[in-house]
Amino acid sequence: MSFQIHSIRKLPFFFFTSRSSLKVCSRISPSSSAFFSTSIVGEEDPILVRDYIHSALYDPNYGYFSKRSGSVGMLESSIKFNKLEGRRAYLRHLDKIYKQSDISWFTPVELFKPWYAHGIAEAIMRTANLSVPLKIYEIGGGSGSCAKNIMDYIMLNAPSRVYNSMTYISVEISSSLAKKQLETVGEVRSHLSKYRVECRDAADRSGWGDADLQPCWVLMLEVLDNLPHDLVYSENQVSPWQEVWLQKQRDSSNISEIYKPLQDQLIKSCIDIIDLEKDHTTGRSRAITAARNIWSKAFPKPRRSWLPTGCMQLLEVLHGALPKMSLIASDFSYLPDVRIPGERAPLVSTKKDGSSTDYNSYLDAKGDADIFFPTDFWLLERMDHYCSGWKPDVKDEASKKGKKRRTITLGTDQFMEEFGLPTRTRTKDGYNPLLDDFTNTKFYISVPTHNTK
């Protein structure tokens, strides 16, 4: 859950690329450095694309994040934006920070501390039911700065009873980051009695225990982009979608895609939610439909679509464990210069000696490259409603009681102008990196309604 300096060759608003702290680790222990062609992807047992991405990012021995788990940085002090002349001065200051710290990335919470987290805290305070004790879960707590800054804000701005009765829980799979989070939050001694870290995988339902029926908040900041995705393929415009599986080629270390009929439940659910299989020719004449089929055979155009099955799985777990949760998620709404084909395709990038290299294929990621996806916020909202139990196409009248969630998607600038203090991140000439450089990022807020039983 973080941002890494990427490359000034990118568009001006894309100075940072997201990194997630939510790690769903593979339990497979590869036997050699060429683990993707020997153990993870085998000749006899093909795997789904999401399992490949799991391993490429989170394999405990060779995964991208496992090898870089100590690179999440903390600034010694907040950036004094009002003392910087403008954009150039800010970029020079940022470059200096990275060179001095020798850190791979800083989270936006860190770069804009405490103001970024204060905006989130204000959003919670305006919306929370303060008649019950406030409980906050953060998925992937990074260095702990978000938790500390939110608790600072509540301590200073909320009624004392709210702070004294609150609970803040970080769900963090990395033991080293869990330790760092406790140290950061512990800088304010009174926070520690209200804070704890649960070192586990948030997507594992068994780790949540019995469902908690009390209201709570869940934060997922730059988590969605690194969650595993699946890939489906269709050979032309009218052919059915197929699951993409990966298999090692015989007598070779290369990996090839193979295609199977739809059978995986997560994939099928995502396809249903997106309506990928829906026949949009309803109402057209048979002649038009026939002409369309002939055209697709004469000029076939293969289709590829990336499905956020990891997000789907996580939302199912959260709604099952915390049915009255309110959710705040932030992430990239789109990514520039993506070379990999398909809807919602990822950017696959590696950094070496200070320069970034983007790959043309996701199969080039073998533990040395990041794989991160844009978040389709329209689809995120649909999945959120679906996982909450609302099925708009169900004929049973008992299920037609309205949506169970109230949701809104805001640009980062809109969110911070509404809930934050944007004057605190503004430079002397009016340039504001938090508002001006994050035009491809959004916040998603989802709260339960009270009009259904």
CATH of the domain at 249: 3.40.50.12710
Q: Which helix (H) or strand (E) holds 296?
A: helix 286-298
Structure tokens at 191: 């926070």
| Mean pLDDT value of segment 320-338 | 94
The overall average pLDDT reported for the chain is 83
* Domain annotation covers residue 453: no
Instruction: State pLDDT tens for residues 62-113.
Output: 788 766 645 567 888 899 999 999 999 999 998 888 777 766 667 889 999 9
Residue 451 one-letter amino acid: N
Instruction: State pLDDT tens for residues 178-204.
Output: 899 999 999 999 999 999 999 988 999
Q: Which of 97-106, 114-123, 145-154 has the lowest mean pLDDT?
A: 97-106
* Domain annotation covers residue 24: no
Q: In terms of Cα–Cα distance, which of 233, 309, 205, 316 is closest to 266?
A: 309
Q: In terms of Cα–Cα distance, which of 405, 406, 404, 413 is closest to 443?
A: 413
The number of C-alpha atoms within 13 Å of 221 and in the hemisphere containing its C-beta is 26
pLDDT at 381: 96
- More confident of the two residues 347 and 23: 347
Could you tell me what percentage of the chain is helix, strand and coil, using 3-state DSSP and rounding each to the nearest 5? 35, 20, 40
pLDDT at 414: 97
| Mean pLDDT value of segment 347-361 | 79
pLDDT at 396 over 90: no
* Domain annotation covers residue 431: yes
Structure tokens at 109: 């919470």
Q: Give SS3 for 247.
A: strand
Q: In terms of Cα–Cα distance, which of 404, 376, 361 is closest to 276?
A: 376
- More confident of the two residues 154 and 34: 154
Convert 132-174 into a string of H (helix), E (strand) and C (coil). CCCEEEEECCCCCHHHHHHHHHHHHHCCHHHHHHCEEEEECCC
The answer to whether residues 226 and 18 touch, using CB atoms and an 8 Å cutoff, is: yes
| Mean pLDDT value of segment 394-423 | 83
pLDDT at 448 over 90: yes
pLDDT at 337: 87
* Domain annotation covers residue 137: yes
Q: Which helix (H) or strand (E) holds 256?
A: strand 255-261
- The domain tally of the chain equals 1
Greatest alpha-carbon span in the chain: 74
Instruction: State pLDDT tens for residues 332-352.
Output: 998 988 999 999 999 998 876
* Domain annotation covers residue 366: yes
* Domain annotation covers residue 21: no
pLDDT at 397 over 80: no
Q: Which helix (H) or strand (E) holds 123?
A: helix 115-127
pLDDT at 18: 36
pLDDT at 194: 98
* Tokens 């300096």, residue located: 5
- The sign of the dihedral angle between the CA atoms of 426, 430, 436, 442 is positive
CA–CA distance, 134 with 160 (Å, rounded to integer): 12
pLDDT at 173: 79
pLDDT at 249: 79
pLDDT at 12: 28
* Domain annotation covers residue 9: no
Name the pLDDT band for 17 (thresholds 50, 70, 90).
very low
CA–CA distance, 146 with 12 (Å, rounded to integer): 26
Structure tokens at 405: 């969630």
Write the CA distances from 431 to 79, 83, 418, 428, 442, integer angstroms.
14, 12, 18, 7, 19
pLDDT at 119 over 90: yes
Highest-scoring range by mean pLDDT, 70-79, 272-281, 358-367: 358-367
Between 265-274 and 309-321, two packed helices, what is the crossing angle to 10 degrees? Answer: 100
Name the pLDDT band for 28 (thresholds 50, 70, 90).
very low
* Domain annotation covers residue 104: yes
Q: Domain limits at 123?
A: 47-392+401-447
